[in-house]
Amino acid sequence: MEMEKRLYEDALEGNVTNLKVLIQEDPLILDRISKTFFQDTPLHIAILRGHLDFARVVLSHNPRLATESDSLGHLPLHVASAKGHVEIIRELVRVDPGACLARSKDGRLPLHLAIVKGVRVEVVTELARACTESTRLRLDGGDTVLHLCVKCDNLDAFQVLVKVLKGEDNNSISSLFNARNDDGNTVLHLAALYKHLEITKYLLATPNMDLNAENNNGLTALDLVENSPKDLKALELLNILLQSNVRRSTLSNNHSPLPPTNIQPSKFSTQEISTLTPNNPRQPKPKRSWKKFFTFTDNNIKHLEDMKGEILITAAIIALINALPIIYLKVNGPDIPDQFSINSGSFVPAVTIILLLLAGLPLSNKFCAWLVIQLMYSAVGFMGLNYIGQMISTESRYSYLDFAVYFMLVWFVLLSILSALNVIRLIVLVVKSIKRCVKRRKLRGRRDSNALSNA
């Protein structure tokens, strides 16, 4: 173990002389190293520090270390690609060419890491030329390497990959330009979505690019920009697309409502865009505040998720408050049916909330959020009703309780109104879901009819 510790220290320093001494003392030290408690091999450590000579000596004595992965599933080639060490990459590819197609635990190839980290373009060139097949393998979500370049705003890597692939097969680059991910988005869709101006200009100047491709929601790149929040970059991007004759989708031209996207819709029309300048800003009208009571917004959902722990504690306290009097009456007092029924109306919803939250109920789902809110209203409402009943039963003995009784009745009425509003929220949610399904069916029917007419 002492020698192995010295080996890792030498790897950190890149001390080739000490490494050769250790190998002379124990020729099998590099063969046993993968069985130690260390998560990284000495080769990983040396590559992290960029020690090329040390890595060469290690590979010459034990090439198998090039196939060893760390705790994240990264081979030495992944590490070298992320760090941008071109010479080390060449050595690793020479020893193990298949490492170019190895995926880490998050599903990324060495080429993907080089693009994400934004290392020198020479690294991307080396990896793409060493194994062109790695440029065609997709990530989670169906993204190609070009999709990844757009997401990371890495135009240099994008251009290098195009150059390499053109040298291999000009037809393949055309299909890669117009390849779609699982959402049906091409690279032009993503460039518009992320508002990357330079990449968008590059794509618009590319003859192989389908400028009017529609994604799964039936939207073109122009539709995505027009329905995004309007800032200076969005306005500039919109002008670029319009000047390049990028069209709106057929669904948009038919004046039908666009399907929902992950971008907040804007209230600006195309004619109004030209009048917007930094000196003459026009802001969209805010949504009427009273409408917020009838719909679930992202802020409502986030607020509820942030209070998940507090909701669980509150439900537990309500359940305890309602359970203890019942247990006491059953053991030490008379059997009172009214007490059982009213307390159960508060106890059961509280316990239900506890069970649902412990079972991992996703509060990000709007129906689940509505259910938790309604159960909490019921639990608090029945507990308040029980409190009012107890006050009324003692009112004959304590006349000064009149004001407190009226106050609690007003509170109970307000709670009932809030509960009714929450029921309206559910109705609105169901109606919107039905409308969304109808729109999708109409859109699918239009696509099928267009496909038949084209055939």
CA-based nearest residue to 198, from 150, 135, 138: 150
Please state, in angstroms and rounded to a whole number, the distance separating the CA atoms of residues 97 and 232.
Answer: 46
What's the CA gap between 326 and 329, in Å, rounded? 5
β-bridge partners, 277: 280
Query: What's the pLDDT at 43?
Result: 93
pTM score over 0.75: no
SS (H, E, C) the chain: CHHHHHHHHHHHHCCHHHHHHHHHHCCCHHHHHHHCCCCCCHHHHHHHHCCHHHHHHHHHHCHHHHHCCCCCCCCHHHHHHHHCCHHHHHHHHHHCHHHHHCCCCCCCCHHHHHHHHCCCHHHHHHHHHHCHHHHCCCCCCCCCHHHHHHHCCCHHHHHHHHHHHHHHCHHHHHHHHCCCCCCCCCHHHHHHHCCCHHHHHHHHCCCCCCCCCCCCCCCCHHHHHHCCCCCHHHHHHHHHHHHCCCCCCHHHHCCCCCCCCCCCCCCCCHHHHCCCECCECCCCCCCCHHHHHHCCCHHHHHHHHHCHHHHHHHHHHHHHHHHHHHHHHHHHCCCCHHHHHHHHHHHHHHHHHHHHHHCCCCCCCHHHHHHHHHHHHHHHHHHHHHHHHHHHHCCCCCHHHHHHHHHHHHHHHHHHHHHHHHHHHHHHHHHHHHHHHHHHHHHHHHHHHHHHHHC
pLDDT in tens, the chain (455 residues): 688 888 989 999 999 999 999 999 988 888 877 545 567 899 999 999 999 999 999 999 999 999 999 888 999 999 999 999 999 999 999 999 999 999 999 899 999 999 999 888 999 999 999 998 999 899 988 999 999 999 999 999 999 998 888 876 666 677 888 899 999 999 999 999 999 999 999 999 888 788 889 998 889 999 898 888 878 888 888 899 988 888 887 665 554 444 444 444 333 333 333 433 344 444 444 444 455 556 666 666 677 777 778 888 888 888 888 777 666 555 444 555 555 666 777 788 888 888 888 887 777 777 888 888 888 888 888 887 777 776 666 554 545 556 666 777 787 788 788 788 878 878 887 888 888 788 777 777 766 666 556 55
CA 41, chain centre distance (Å): 33
Nearest CA to 357 out of 368, 347, 342, 341 is that of 368
**Residue 305: alpha-carbon gap to chain centroid:** 16
pLDDT digits (tens, 9 = 90+) for 20-54: 999 999 888 888 775 455 678 999 999 999 999 99
Query: Torsion over CA of 307, 309, 310 and 316, rounded to 10 degrees?
Result: 140
Which domains are delineated in the chain?
1-135 (1.25.40.20), 291-446 (no CATH)
CA atoms within 13 A on the CB side of 202: 19
- Beta bridge partners, 280, equal 277
Are 154 and 118 in contact, with CB atoms under 8 Å apart? yes
Per residue in 123-154, pLDDT (tens digit) is 999 999 999 899 989 998 899 999 999 999 99
